[in-house]
């Protein structure tokens, strides 16, 4: 498989053009695009990989999206804002952003990871995007990172008519979506519970009308239902659209 890892100035310029940002220190971008599998193979020439940057980028991204949501929806409460933020920064969503920025073409991967399809793996792509945002933050500060994140994510914010959905709990929202598509409702079944009476953990299975199952745990039956419904919502949105 051809290795598209960035080795030239033109490669980095291509990414910078997609980002709308030119690095003062391009080595930060190179590090952000370097997966640990690649660094581990460079025995003779040790290099830094992007895991530390991904750690920082996760926090920077959360603050950027929180800031964006807070100022975009001044009337929404914390719970609804949290749901919107979670929808924007899911691994699948961030991987899609990484692909739109062509980061998938230029990640430096080790040979084994490359052969196993790492270049298309959502977890690697989402981590790489977070590392790139951290690189911008280190290179130019939070204001620039916020500017770039806003340009990327603002077009994906829910429209006014969609915002009401984020006031609803997972179970209610899932039921409405499933009823609309299947004219039926999801079913929930208790599998069992473990632990002492004051600290039981309940396990339930949710079944959609198409036969897909989701298992989740919670400190109460209702909390386990909500957790399962959240997982089903992610699947439902990907499989059928909202």
Residue 137: pLDDT band (50, 70, 90) is very high
CATH topology of domain 168-240: Double Stranded RNA Binding Domain (3.30.160)
What value does the mean pLDDT take over residues 1-14?
59
CB neighbours of residue 204 within 10 Å: 22
Residue 241: pLDDT band (50, 70, 90) is low
**Cα angle vertex 90, ends 212, 93, to 5°?**
95
The predicted structure's pLDDT at residue 4: 44
Mean per-residue pLDDT of the chain: 86
pTM of the entire predicted model: 0.66
Compute CA 237 distance to the chain's CA centroid, rounded to the nearest angstrom. 14
Q: Which residues are catalytic?
A: 58, 130
The predicted structure's pLDDT at residue 26: 92
The CATH class of 9-163 is mainly alpha
The predicted structure's pLDDT at residue 5: 47
Residue 1: pLDDT band (50, 70, 90) is very low
Q: Give the whole-angstrom CA distance, residue 226 versus residue 145.
A: 34
Across 13-27, 32-46, 53-67, the highest mean pLDDT is recorded for 53-67
The pLDDT of residue 74 is above 90:
no
What value does the mean pLDDT take over residues 10-24?
88
The predicted structure's pLDDT at residue 234: 81
Residues of the chain with CATH 3.30.160.20: 168-240
Q: Give the whole-angstrom CA distance, residue 116 versus residue 111.
A: 9
Residues of the chain with CATH 1.10.1520.10: 9-163
Across 106-115, 151-160, 199-208, the highest mean pLDDT is recorded for 199-208
The predicted structure's pLDDT at residue 116: 81
What value does the mean pLDDT take over residues 172-183?
86
SS3 242: coil
SS (H, E, C) 138-150: HHHCHHHHHHHHH
The predicted structure's pLDDT at residue 6: 45
Q: Give the whole-angstrom CA distance, residue 148 versus residue 20.
A: 7
């Amino acid at each position: 498989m051809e290795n598209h890892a960035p080795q030239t100035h033109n490669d980095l310029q291509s990414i910078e053009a997609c980002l709308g940002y030119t690095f003062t220190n391009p080595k930060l971008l190179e590090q952000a695009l370097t997966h640990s599998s690649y660094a581990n193979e460079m025995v003779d020439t040790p290099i830094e990989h992007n895991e530390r940057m991904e750690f920082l980028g996760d926090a920077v991204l959360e603050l950027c999206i929180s800031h964006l949501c807070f100022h975009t929806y001044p009337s929404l409460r914390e719970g609804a804002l949290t749901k919107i933020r979670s929808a924007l920064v899911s691994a699948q969503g961030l991987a899609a952003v990484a692909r739109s920025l062509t980061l998938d073409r230029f990640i430096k991967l080790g040979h084994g990871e490359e052969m196993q399809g790492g270049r298309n793996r959502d977890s690697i792509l989402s981590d790489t995007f977070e590392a790139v945002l951290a690189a911008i933050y280190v290179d130019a500060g939070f204001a620039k990172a916020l500017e770039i994140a806003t340009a990327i994510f603002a077009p994906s914010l829910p429209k006014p008519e969609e915002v009401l959905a984020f006031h609803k709990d997972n179970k209610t929202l899932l039921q409405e979506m499933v009823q609309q598509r299947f004219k039926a409702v999801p079913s929930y079944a208790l599998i069992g519970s473990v632990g002492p009476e004051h600290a039981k953990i309940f396990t339930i299975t949710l079944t959609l009308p198409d036969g897909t199952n989701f298992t989740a745990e919670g400190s109460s039956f209702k909390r386990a239902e909500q957790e399962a419904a959240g997982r089903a919502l992610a699947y439902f949105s990907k499989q059928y659209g909202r």
